[in-house]
Amino acid sequence: MTWIVALLGLAVIILLGVLQAVAVVRPRDQWTIDNVYGSDPSATDPKAYFAFNQGLAWADAFFWVPLQIAGSAGMLLGERWGFLLALAASVPFVYSAFPLFIWDRDLGYRKNYWVITWGIFPAYGLLEGIYAFARLLS
């Protein structure tokens, strides 16, 4: 189970990290707007739109991704600190997805395929958090 949780976490976070790194480097590119942000800046205040998405891109690429990678590596090594880091890394999967999903759904900013994307993050975060917590207790 550790291998499944850790490798799934690496797959999800590496995909997110690559996309968010693109958003850091090319924040106003049309490809970034279409494929990373998944919405249209003209639907809201463009300054707030880019500030919001850039804040997430920087936080994900430089804080959350390294935390998840270190946690997955530690879990694969069977180290207690790995499960602790994985537990910490599971929290943003859960807390960031719910408000973004509700905000996007209510305001209609993002396309329908984003519902699936936002659903994957909290589902994995709950799986990782519960598993890491259980392993820390044992």
Per-residue model confidence (pLDDT) at position 36: 83
CB 125 within 8 A of CB 64: no
User: Residue 29 pLDDT more than 60?
Assistant: yes
pLDDT on residue 105? 63
Q: Name the phi and psi angles at 74, rounded to 5.
A: -65, -40
Name the residue ranges covered by the structural domains of the chain: 2-137
Record the tokens describing residue 85, joined without a space. 């880091």
